[in-house]
Amino acid sequence: MTVGEQFYIRVYNAVDSIICNSGTIARLGITATGTAILTQVIVTAISYSLDLYRGDIKV
């Protein structure tokens, strides 16, 4: 799997998750939504770092 394919899948999954949970996100409000987005960004960064470390993706 190429880097582009991995990036596409991860972005697609993130957008799909946001769309599927948009009702819950709206009820929680802006603070909880911001916290959720920040958490997702951190998890994604850690995931990419591990992939780079293992050599699954290359820069």
Q: So what's the pLDDT on residue 1? A: 66
- Please, what sign has the CA dihedral across residues 31, 36, 39, 44? negative
CB crowding 3-30: b at 16 or more within 10 Å, else e: eeeeeeeeeeeeeeeeeeeeeebeeeee
Tens place of pLDDT for every residue, the chain, 59 residues? 677 777 788 778 888 887 888 787 778 788 887 888 788 888 888 888 888 888 877 76
pTM score, whole prediction: 0.54
